[in-house]
Each structure stands twice: as structure tokens, then as C-alpha cells.
Chains A and B, each alone.
Chain A
């Protein structure tokens, strides 16, 4: 059965750019455009992996959602779903942050603009863990 991937990003063009390679690689894809609809979609769709944008309705919406899904108060079956975070921060500032158990509970990062091949490699890596 095809693995399910949920894209949570408020920019429809970025969603399309992520969706195209995923669908051609045979994944089942759904998208959501805010923190709230993302949380609903996680319940409904039960994805195997989440691709999450940082800036949505607020500058830190992605971080907040990651906390809700993987933080100390999160449900066990939510915590099992790996999160791949989309960010434009790495390339433009010397700021460096990595996945962190307490503060940034995500499993990987991918930089914008998105490189489809790199994205597929990263997803395959996370799903095989």
C-alpha cells in the first residue's frame, strides 16, 4: 500500500511543487494550509510522514504545530509520525538549528527552494527508519 504523506503549507505553489514529485513517486498525498486544518488532517488521514512549513498564519506556526504533534503532551500515535520541516532559514542566515527532542521535535529539514530529487531522498530516508 502506498505510503501517505501530509503537506502542511499555506503557499499553494509550494504545495504543488512538493506534490508533483511525491505523486510521481507513488505516494498518496494530501495537503492542509494552516495549523488547525493540519491537526484535523493528521487525525483523518493518518499520514506516515508530515511535511511542515514554518511560517504560515504566524511566523512560528510550524514550530507550534511540531510541539503539538511531538511535544511532551502529544499523543503516542502522533509522535510516531516523522516530520520534515521546510525552511528558508538555513541558507540565508548563519543560524543553525537541528532537530531537538525538547524544543524542535522534528526529524529533518529541507531548504526552500525545494529540490524535488533531494526531497524524495530525504523522505525515503525518514520512512525507512
Chain B
């Protein structure tokens, strides 16, 4: 007997992260370029203003060189972007890396020439770390931030120990009580203000973009759901009419048939039935996708009530194949947080599969229990059917997958059912396991957590 529990649906791990798209990279690179124009010009004009009007003892030449360098490489980057060098993702990623390294070099030199560890410009690293986060992967940003700490710490260390000359800006009066120094206050307020302004703008911009994207995805999603619903309804009508007519011929209401005509008719009917199964499954898939999306609200629902309804619906199919259908249902309502449609799809699919893949005269058993320890409703559907080959078991929850023996059999199927069941069970925070032995039968166990306000019964787990 082999058992399979589906692995949870993958979500990107926060460690590796998702790469930015080309469009996003381009847009953020453009933003960086714009900010860099402002930064380069501010360095130039600020230095000149400090020198000419405020008479602050800055080292003018190095600062002007930094400002001009920033404007210089920004011009290069700008021309790259303009020249359409950005159609290739790898190229844009290189540009992204390159510009950030250049910026950090420029900033560390700027910090050095504006007072080292006492420089009011130090806070600009915050802006830049945030900007890097928008175009680099999480680990890259973290590495760069680590590097910044090492560089700034190293710079301060070298200046302290005389490895590098410390640039003292006497006008800042860093030896005095800083809170009384107007120039220092103005400088801090300026750098602090521009930092938080830029940061908040950046975060808002990204939040807006995410919201916009989510809205767009939801619209696409709704459009698709509507399309599938309409399409399947429109497809089903002519198919229903055709099959109705075919059954008239089969049952002799349109005169006698030759054996050859009967064979052809049986084949055509069988193909049409296959098409009908496909359309019905697609419709179920579309409905379950709606039921399993995060924005579909979860409501308390009784496992027992839905199971009874589904058993009533499926029983005629079991009777038709002389399959013994044993139901052992706890009297407890078993309130779980799910959706009526979703629960119906889960139980309907499991029971329908069990009956479909069990030969005539076989046996299907449905059991429903409350597991007080796990605070869960447990539903087991067991059949004496064809089972699933061990090789196929790992794929059985995949969309559109059908086991070899199922494909070779006469049973109509699309491989949508179990993947739908799995999606819904996961959405309801439940678990599903499947045990199977080829030729012996299959047992599917679904466990759904009871709604929080449900007190699990201790002794009342009676049978009917």
C-alpha cells in the first residue's frame, strides 16, 4: 500500500525572492537616474553656496569632483537607457548593479569629505538602501547593506586611528553643544527631511503599484471566470441536445439499426459523453477556483449536511453499477469554515471517483467522524476499485494528470477532480492523504479543522 500527501502549494521563499521584471527594473532605474540628477546638482550647488555665501570651510574641490562624477556617470546611464540598451533583462540587471556600486562609492567619498562619522550626509545611505531593495534581490540588498556598515565603520576607524585624515568642518562646531548650533540643526533637518520624504515617496509608490497590480489581476481573474462559465454553458446546450437525440436512436425510438450502425452510434455517443465530462469538469474547476481564491469568504458549513446531500446525489450511480455503498456518518453536524459549493465539490469528486473507478458489484464506503483530539472532521472514502499504480501516485494531485490504468480504462475523466479537491482542502486549512494499491482499491482521507467555536464532542460520536 502506498500513501501520498500532496506537498503544499509553493510560495516564493523570502530568502531567495522573485526577480524584478524588466519593466520594473527599467522604471526603477529611471527613478534612480532622476534622483541622481537632483543629488549631483545639490552637491555642486550646495558646495558652492556653502563656500560663497555661508563661508563654511568645506573642501570645495573634492566635493565638486564628486558632484561632477555623479552627474557624469548619470549621463552615461541616461544615454544607455535612451539608446534602448534596456531591452535585455541581463543587461539591465548589470546596469542596476553597476549604478548602485558607483553611487555607494560616491557616497562614501562624500561622507568622508563632509566629516566622516559626524557627516550629516550619512543618513543618505538609508535612501539608497531602500532604492537598492526595489531593483535587487533580497540577498543582494542585504549583502550591500552589510557592506555599507563595514565601509562606514571602517572609514570611521581609519579616521579615528589616523589611517585617513579626518575632515573637520569647524563651522558645524561638533565639539560644542550640538543642539545650540543652528548650522548643525539646519543640516540635520535638511538631510533628515529629504531622507524621509524620499523614503515615504518610494514606499507609497511601490504600495500603489502593488495595489494597481492586484486590482488588475482581480479583473483578469473575474473576466476569465465569467468566460469559462458562459463558454461551458453555451457548450453544454448543443451537447445536451445531441446526446438526447442519440439516446432516442439507441433506445429504438427512431427505428431499427444495423449492428454496424449501432457500433458507430455507440462510439459517437461515447465521445460525446467524454466531451460532456470534460466540460462539466472545467465548469467545476472554474467554480472551485472561485471558491478557493483568497477573497472568497469562508462560512460555517455542516460536513454532515453536505455529505448527506452528495450521497443522495451519487447513490443512483452506485445503484446503477450494483455497487454497495456503505455510509457510516457521525451524528455531529461537524461545522467547518468552508463554503457550501467548495465542500460539495470536495465530497462530490471523491465519491464520484470512487464509484466511477470501482467495477460493477464492488464496494464503496463513506465514513465521517469527529476527531476530538485534532479538533477536526475526518471524512474517509474507500473503494474496491482499480487503484492507482505506485509510479503514478506522486502525480495524482496534479492538474490534468490521470493514472495509466485510468487512461486505459473506459472510464471518462479529465484529471481535474483530485487537483481541485486538493486546492479546496488546502484553502480550508485541511489535510488530504491518499492510499492506494493497484487493483485493490483506493482510500482517501480528508481532515478539515472544525470552526473555532465548535466544542468537540466527547462521548456523542454515535453512528447511524
Spell out A's residues near B (CB within 8 Å). 11, 13-14, 16-18, 20-21, 24, 88, 90-94, 96, 112-117
Please give me the 3 A-B residue pairs with the lowest Cβ-Cβ distance, nearest first: A94-B344, A113-B243, A17-B244
Q: Which residues of A contact B215 (CB under 8 A)?
A: none
Q: How far is it, in angstroms, between the C-alpha of A24 and the C-alpha of B340 when the chains are bound?
A: 43
Q: Which residues of A contact B254 (CB under 8 A)?
A: 20
Is B266 interfacial (CB-CB < 8 Å)?
Answer: no
Q: How far is it, in angstroms, between the C-alpha of A24 and the C-alpha of B248 when the chains are bound?
A: 11
A116/B310 in contact, CB under 8 A = no
Residue among B240, B243, B344 with max Cβ neighbours from chain A (10 Å): B240
Is B251 interfacial (CB-CB < 8 Å)?
Answer: yes
Is B253 interfacial (CB-CB < 8 Å)?
Answer: yes
Q: Which residues of chain B from 249 to 294 have any CB-CB distance to chain A below 8 Å in the complex?
A: 251, 253-254, 276, 280, 283-284, 287
A-B contact pairs, 17 of them (CB 8 A): A13-B242, A14-B240, A16-B245, A17-B241, A20-B248, A20-B254, A21-B251, A92-B280, A93-B287, A93-B341, A94-B306, A94-B313, A94-B341, A96-B312, A112-B240, A114-B244, A116-B248
B161 CB, min distance to chain A CBs, angstroms? 77
SS class, residues of chain B in contact with chain A: helix
Which of B240, B306, B348 is A113 in contact with, Cβ under 8 Å? Answer: B240
Which of B237, B244, B247, B309 is A94 in contact with, Cβ under 8 Å? Answer: B309
Is B337 interfacial (CB-CB < 8 Å)?
Answer: no
Q: How far is it, in angstroms, between the C-alpha of A13 and the C-alpha of B243 when the chains are bound?
A: 10
Residue among B242, B247, B276 with max Cβ neighbours from chain A (10 Å): B247
Closest B residue to A96 using CB positions: B309
A17/B340 in contact, CB under 8 A = no
Closest A residue to B342 using CB positions: A94
Q: Which residues of B contact A16 (CB under 8 A)?
A: 245
A92/B283 in contact, CB under 8 A = yes
Q: Do A11 and B284 form a contact, CB below 8 Å, given A17-B244, A21-B253, A94-B309?
A: no
Q: How far is it, in angstroms, between the C-alpha of A58 and the C-alpha of B450 when the chains are bound?
A: 41
Spell out B's residues near A (CB within 8 Å). 236-245, 247-248, 251, 253-254, 276, 280, 283-284, 287, 306, 309-310, 312-313, 340-341, 344-345, 348
Closest B residue to A15 using CB positions: B241
Q: Which residues of B contact A93 (CB under 8 A)?
A: 287, 341, 344
Q: Do A94 and B240 form a contact, CB below 8 Å, given A17-B245, A20-B254, A114-B247?
A: no
A11/B340 in contact, CB under 8 A = no
SS class, residues of chain A in contact with chain B: helix
B283/A94 in contact, CB under 8 A = no
A94/B310 in contact, CB under 8 A = yes
Closest B residue to A23 using CB positions: B253
Closest B residue to A117 using CB positions: B251
B292 CB, min distance to chain A CBs, angstroms? 15
Q: Which residues of A contact B345 (CB under 8 A)?
A: 94
Q: Do A11 and B248 form a contact, CB below 8 Å, given A20-B253, A92-B284?
A: no
Q: Do A17 and B310 form a contact, CB below 8 Å, given A11-B237, A92-B280?
A: no
B241/A115 in contact, CB under 8 A = no
Q: Which residues of B contact A112 (CB under 8 A)?
A: 240-241, 244
Which of A20, A24, A88 is B240 in contact with, Cβ under 8 Å? Answer: A88
A94/B280 in contact, CB under 8 A = no
A123 CB, min distance to chain B CBs, angstroms? 14
Q: Which residues of A contact B239 (CB under 8 A)?
A: 113
Residue among B241, B254, B312, B348 with max Cβ neighbours from chain A (10 Å): B241
Q: Which residues of B contact A115 (CB under 8 A)?
A: 247
Q: How far is it, in angstroms, between the C-alpha of A115 and the C-alpha of B273 when the chains are bound?
A: 13
A76 CB, min distance to chain B CBs, angstroms? 34
A13/B245 in contact, CB under 8 A = yes
Q: How far is it, in angstroms, between the C-alpha of A25 and the C-alpha of B72 when the chains are bound?
A: 94
B349 CB, min distance to chain A CBs, angstroms? 10
Q: How far is it, in angstroms, between the C-alpha of A91 and the C-alpha of B313 when the chains are bound?
A: 9
B251/A116 in contact, CB under 8 A = yes
A17/B248 in contact, CB under 8 A = yes
Q: Which residues of A contact B247 (CB under 8 A)?
A: 17, 113-116
B228 CB, min distance to chain A CBs, angstroms? 13
Closest B residue to A21 using CB positions: B253
Q: Do A14 and B241 form a contact, CB below 8 Å, given A88-B236, A91-B280, A92-B284?
A: yes
Closest A residue to B345 using CB positions: A94
* 19 more CB-based (< 8 A) A-B contacts, given A92-B236, A94-B309: A14-B240, A17-B247, A21-B248, A21-B253, A24-B253, A88-B240, A91-B280, A92-B283, A94-B313, A94-B340, A94-B345, A96-B309, A96-B312, A112-B244, A113-B240, A113-B244, A114-B247, A116-B251, A116-B253
Q: How far is it, in angstroms, between the C-alpha of A16 and the C-alpha of B253 when the chains are bound?
A: 11
Closest B residue to A24 using CB positions: B253
B248/A13 in contact, CB under 8 A = no
Q: Which residues of A contact B243 (CB under 8 A)?
A: 113
Q: How far is it, in angstroms, between the C-alpha of A20 and the C-alpha of B242 when the chains are bound?
A: 14
Q: How far is it, in angstroms, between the C-alpha of A20 and the C-alpha of B252 when the chains are bound?
A: 10
Closest A residue to B241 using CB positions: A13
